[in-house]
Amino acid sequence: MNIYEEGLSLLRDKKDFVLASIVKSTGSTPRSKGTQMIIREDGSIFSTVGGGKMEASCIEKGVFFLKL
């Protein structure tokens, strides 16, 4: 399953999610511009934007906005 199929499945199930995307990167990074990750309300993810502190921050902020 790709990220678009996962997003469509969540929409069909009326589940909220956030789509995180890398829009710019500099230097040595594990993932490049255009990489995307789905963050679900429970903090689980589909795909990755590279791990580490940046990904953890994306998950934290994504869950925060889903709970608003």
In the chain the first and final C-alpha atoms are separated, in Å, by 29
Q: How far is CA 27 from CA 23, 24, 30, 45, 50, in A?
A: 14, 10, 10, 25, 14
Q: What is the pLDDT of residues 12-42, one digit of tens each?
A: 999 999 999 999 988 888 999 999 999 999 9
- Residue 9 CA, distance from chain mean position: 15
Q: What does pLDDT average to over the chain? A: 96
Q: Is the pTM of this model over 0.75?
A: yes
